[in-house]
Amino acid sequence: MTHPDPEVLLHLNMNMPYGKYQGRRLIDLPEPYLVWMAREGFPAGKLGSALALAHEIKVNGLESVVLPLLNGTQG
């Protein structure tokens, strides 16, 4: 069994490098945009993995769990 790398959460702080939401943190992208990207296909590499994770977090309503970790605060 493989264990997930907790550092992958830090990739959610990456800025979107292109498009309508260029410059916005991946975790802050709107859910409908992430759903559209999931349907169309995420890009390869670290960006695609981080976008897929952001999508899973959003559609499962886990932002309230993850955002304090990314923002360095306690909920």
8-51 pLDDT, tens digit per residue, is 788 899 999 999 999 999 999 999 999 999 999 999 999 999 99
The pTM (predicted TM-score) of the whole model is: 0.84
What is the structure's pLDDT at 10?
Answer: 85
Residues of the domain holding 20 = 6-71
More confident residue, 67 or 45: 45
H-state helical runs in 1-75: 31-40, 45-59, 63-71
In a domain, 43, yes or no: yes
Measured over the CA atoms of residue 11, residue 13, residue 17 and residue 21, the dihedral's sign is positive
> How many domains is the chain built from?
1
In a domain, 16, yes or no: yes
Evaluate whether 25 touches 15 at the Cβ level (below 8 Å).
yes
Two structure tokens written together for 70: 């990314």
In a domain, 41, yes or no: yes
